[in-house]
Amino acid sequence: MIVDQKKMENLADNLMAAEEVQGRSLWADAARRFSHNKAAIGGLVTLTLVVLFTLIGPSFAQWSNEEIDWAVLGQVKTMGAPSIESGHYFGTDELGRDLYSRVIQGTSISLMVGVIGSFVAVVVGTLYGAIAGYVGGRVDNFMMRLVDIFMSIPYMFVLILLLVIFGRSLNMLFIGIGLISWFDMSRIVRGQTLSIKNKEFIEAAVAAGVSNFTIIMRHIVPNLVGIVIVYASLLVPGFILAESFISFLGLGVQEPNTSWGALISEGARTMQYGTLWQIGFPLFFFTITLFSMFFIGDGLRDALDPKDR
């Protein structure tokens, strides 16, 4: 009787364990892995705080990003140092504009450039690579040779040329960064498509008479979501760096708008006067955001890597 009772308890434990295994999907397993990555969670928390700063921060601002405080102009040595009494929490720039409001604006624009540029690169690169990999043959060879040719052209030179020809607008910066950064994504997606195009579910869809475009959109692309998410998370900091470099050269975001690169460039020009806050605050947000995104990207890669499942 005691033996039978132990057998029943072991059977119940096995059934409960089986239910736990069956109830956890691949995405749930990936979320569990990601939650155990302390660096990734720290990066996610930091990035969330930066985003909240751009959303909630303006409600605490006493000066707008374009408003000039005439009282601090001409003060070469102090140049509007950070002060809670004056309402300039981060100080002012060389023109007497509130740096707190300008850092908020620069943070939002730099994040938008990274996210929108990554979205454009992901959409174009995923569709291009999936079509090339699924169709195969001469079409695949031709499309990939075009990618090789495009990748041989200097990335930054093309971006600067686009901004000079079509104007240094914010929209052109979004489109330019995204449209010339999808090449690596297309090669990654193409390789993954080649590995799944001969799977049973694809052959079943072909036998059922499903069109090639429907197969690509409904069967191939959804199975590439994990790879796409990981690569997109690593694209965002790269785009922020590219935008900051362009703005640092004076070819990116134009006044009255600003970005991290423009703010850092302005701060670098006034460092000789000891106004370290002008470069310190935008550089701080720039640095912690990049580190956070790199940590999040590494965490997603580890969580969604099929070899680790």
d(CA 109, CA 126): 25
The interaxial angle of helices 26-35 and 38-56, nearest 10 deg, is 90
d(CA 132, CA 139): 7
Contact 105, 285 (CB under 8 A): no
Residues 199-209: what's their mean pLDDT?
A: 85
Instruction: Residue 185: name the closest of 128, 239, 240, 114 by CA.
Output: 128
Contact 236, 295 (CB under 8 A): no
User: Between these two residues, 83 and 308, which has the higher pLDDT value?
Assistant: 83
d(CA 215, CA 120): 22
Question: Tokens for 233?
Answer: 């998370």
> Is the whole model's pTM more than 0.85, yes or no?
no
pLDDT band for position 293 (cuts 50, 70, 90): confident
First to last CA, the chain: 41
pLDDT band for position 12 (cuts 50, 70, 90): low
pLDDT (0 to 100) of residue 177: 77
Residues 31-46: what's their mean pLDDT?
A: 87
Least confident of 36-40, 81-85, 140-144, 149-153: 81-85
On the question of pLDDT at 309 being above 50, the answer is no
On the question of pLDDT at 277 being above 80, the answer is yes
- Per-residue pLDDT tens over the stretch 166-198: 777 777 777 777 777 788 888 888 988 888 888
pLDDT (0 to 100) of residue 42: 92
Q: What is the DSSP string of 78-128?
A: TSS--BTTTTBTT-B-TTSBBHHHHHHHHHHHHHHHHHHHHHHHHHHHHHH
pLDDT (0 to 100) of residue 204: 86
